[in-house]
Structure 1
Amino acid sequence: MSETSTINLGPSANPNAKPTDFDFLKVIGKGSFGKVLLAKRRSDCKFYAVKVLQKKTILKKKELFFHLQRERSFLEPRARFYSAEVASAIGYLHSQNIIYRDLKPENILLDCQGHVVLTDFGLCKEGMEQEETTCTFCGTPEYLAPEVLKKQPYDRTVDWWCLGAVLYEMLYGLPPFYSGDVSQMYDNILKQPLQLPGGKTTAACDILRGLLHKDQHARLGSKADFLEIKNHVFFSPINWDDLYHKRISPPYNPNVAGPGDLRHFDPEFTQEAVPNSVGRTPDLNTSSASTSNAFLGFSYAPSEDDFLS
């Protein structure tokens, strides 16, 4: 199996990080394209979640929500805390002229203290000024904004739609326009009015209507971006400075010993052997043109011939 890991250590980290810089400890998740491994960087013993992608599958096809699945939905204070931390992360990305474009439950994890960690930046669009738009069709079906489905130019407000979809799911247990039939779900996103079952506060319903407005130019966040979200009444109980500095106690404590404690991960994953090929760093100069060109921009892209086992 041909695999390559994409290691994103942030803007200040070594851009030449390679698999041999890490000890790969456990498989902690799987997706349609590959696996997620718990890795420890040898130089400083910091832990990372490293996505390992199956290149042949990509070419052919061109932790928070573990708890949500178990509990079905969250009460408003818990949903408010998580959505506030997610909004803060999105607001920071926007301040750096980055649109995230793939906000969904699977990309929101909890750290060992219970704070939100946003992951998987593979669909990010960089260099997006506030008024700039893009047209790439990408994202996850349940969380696609109407303008993306229409293949219209869209801007950073696409992330606020996704925040609304995630918040809705936290409060109600399913995405807002969900259907098992994808075509029907797309039709719901484009045409059906937002349904808000009873039992939620006026503030919660109001922010959902604002974030899930089908017109991106009238959507909450379309005028002042993150500032509009911060100032909405739904978040009035949040002290944003305390939130930023993690002085607010998370509503759920994972009760783990540290980042290497895997008690909340399914044994189906953690008992699986880590592939030997992950830790190898072949000579990239030997990469074939077809393979290397297909994966330009990846942190680590060896040739097909380097993985024959």
Structure 2
Amino acid sequence: MNCCRKQSSSPLGFRKGLWAPGLTGQAGWAGARRGSVGNERNLCSVVVDCFPCFRAQPLGDVLPELIKHGREKIEQTIKASGSRLCSYAERVVFLMDRSRSPDKSTQPSTPTDNINLGPSANPNAKPTDFDFLKVIGKGSFGKVLLAKRKCDGTFYAVKVLHKKTILKKKEQNHIMAERNVLLKNVKHPFLVGLHYSFQTSEKLYFVLDYVNGGELFFHLQRERCFREPRARFYAAEVASAIGYLHSLNIIYRDLKPENILLDCQGHIVLTDFGLCKEGMEQEETTSTFCGTPEYLAPEVLKKQPYDRTVDWWCLGAVLYEMLFGLPPFYSRDVSQMYDNILHKPLQIQGTKTVAACDIIQGLLHKDQKRRLGAKTDFLEIKNHVFFSPINWDDLYHKRITPPFNPNVAGPADLRHFDPEFTQEAISASITRTPDLAASSSSASDAFLGFSYAPTEEDI
């Protein structure tokens, strides 16, 4: 993994380069991070270095050609190639036998799989309903745009994804899972809301809440760390959102500052549900290796069955980062960081309160059975003494004034977005409305049932 790459995520979970000028020392760690585990591109580049015969091939073709020879043979080849590739952190993902994983919902579908969640509930929605104003995020599958609906002037964040790219990377199950989770988030104040979704023959469109207060990661880069009351406020709102997901038997699995946005008032909005796992009852476990390196729980690294407490581990890591400026077991060497997570005792330095130290130690307990939240889930978190200043009913109803105001002047205020995005021209293809019925390709068939419109009682 390239530990010197400057990488962050953009609004709504789209990862892109972000750098805050003038930050040095501890804050410079931001240049070394980001990217969820499972990214094959980094591994491919190492394979190419170690096996020159693949150098002339397109990067995306390297892994399939290797995989077809069998994982056992690849393991032998990797070990024989020397320590460099053998110690590479993402080797774990590369060699993972997904056929043994009970997490069926994350298994990639073939391009001809027919994902049918029912008839389209919003057949009349189309791209020309919107004026697309600015690009505010980019990712592997498409872009996020600030858009104004023509009929009423309402601003939305519209996430536009390319079907063929999703199918090529076999990610349609994750996209549909994200849509399913978004449908359940409308009623919670700290989860981004899906207003409706629709599709053309080429693209998928999520019409989402527009949030322009910036990523928590962006503000951490600028300020290095937060005072305890501010960190407590954000942690409480995040815990409320995670607790709600757990009440729906959903585990989040990718909590990190990049996925925590601030709204125009300074309240948090949790976004990016592509790694969520549905159907997780209180005692249910899963074993899929996924997440972001800095925040992976020990049981995930060990490829052991894990439960809802992985989210409370991540909350502990984010709280630690807010208070100290770095994730708890951070190292620029990813293999060393994994070893730290598994074996290194938690170190808490500085003059933090006893309550803050205690909740961090509880959330970051390496034994998931003894971790804070293992017994009564969110109830155990909210009753911890660290949150004693919080009135949870007032918090839920946003009656508590946020400790920080992003001071945005209105929807057109884009000061918290990367200019690299906002200065980009908007492609004309975004606004085209190809006839969905005219295409019989697998790119259309795989997303049957994607479209969604709220019922009248939801509006």
Opposite residue 95 of structure 1, the aligned amino acid is S
**1:208–1:57 Cα change, 3 Å:** same
Name the structure 1 match of 2:244.
92
- 1:28 paired with 2:180, answer no
Farther-moved stretch of structure 1 (256-265 vs 224-233): 256-265
**1:149–1:250 Cα change, 3 Å:** same
- CA positional deviation for 1:258: 2.7
Q: What does residue range 116-195 of structure 1 map to in structure 2 within 5 Å?
A: 116-195=268-347
- 1:56 paired with 2:165, answer yes
Query: What is the CA deviation profile of residues 267-292 of structure 1, one whole-angstrom value per residue up to 9, with x for unaligned ones?
Result: 22211112222233433441422x45
Distance in 1 of aligned mates of 2:129 and 2:331: 44
Secondary structure of the corresponding residue to residue 70 of structure 1: helix
- 1:77 paired with 2:253, answer no
- 1:288 paired with 2:441, answer yes
- The answer to whether the Cα contact below 8 Å between 2:251 and 2:280 also exists between their aligned partners in 1 is yes
**1:271–1:76 Cα change, 3 Å:** same
- The answer to whether the Cα contact below 8 Å between 1:33 and 1:58 also exists between their aligned partners in 2 is no
- 1:47 paired with 2:200, answer no
- CA positional deviation for 1:202: 1.0
Secondary structure of the corresponding residue to residue 88 of structure 1: helix
Name the structure 2 match of 1:307.
none
- CA positional deviation for 1:36: 2.6
Name the structure 1 match of 2:405.
253
Opposite residue 142 of structure 1, the aligned amino acid is E
**1:39–1:231 Cα change, 3 Å:** same
Alignment size in residue pairs: 287
Name the structure 2 match of 1:214.
366
Opposite residue 293 of structure 2, the aligned amino acid is P
**1:124–1:237 Cα change, 3 Å:** same
Name the structure 2 match of 1:105.
257
Distance in 2 of aligned mates of 1:81 and 1:42: 37
Opposite residue 123 of structure 1, the aligned amino acid is L
Opposite residue 261 of structure 1, the aligned amino acid is D
Opposite residue 133 of structure 2, the aligned amino acid is L
- CA positional deviation for 1:47: 3.3
- CA positional deviation for 1:137: 1.6
Distance in 2 of aligned mates of 1:167 and 1:81: 10
- CA positional deviation for 1:141: 1.2
The two structures have a TM-score, normalised by structure 1, of 0.84
Query: What is the CA deviation profile of residues 156-194 of structure 1, one whole-angstrom value per residue up to 9, with x for unaligned ones?
Result: 111111111111111111111111111111111111111
Secondary structure of the corresponding residue to residue 37 of structure 1: strand
- CA positional deviation for 1:135: 1.6
**1:147–1:40 Cα change, 3 Å:** farther
Distance in 2 of aligned mates of 1:235 and 1:185: 29
Distance in 2 of aligned mates of 1:184 and 1:297: 44
**1:90–1:41 Cα change, 3 Å:** farther
Farther-moved stretch of structure 1 (120-129 vs 41-50): 41-50
- CA positional deviation for 1:237: 0.7
**Structure 1 stretches lacking a partner, 5+ long:** 1-5, 7-13, 301-309
Name the structure 1 match of 2:73.
none
The two structures have a TM-score, normalised by structure 2, of 0.58
- The answer to whether the Cα contact below 8 Å between 2:141 and 2:165 also exists between their aligned partners in 1 is no
Opposite residue 256 of structure 2, the aligned amino acid is K
Secondary structure of the corresponding residue to residue 79 of structure 1: helix
- The answer to whether the Cα contact below 8 Å between 1:149 and 1:186 also exists between their aligned partners in 2 is yes
Secondary structure of the corresponding residue to residue 158 of structure 1: helix
Opposite residue 49 of structure 1, the aligned amino acid is A
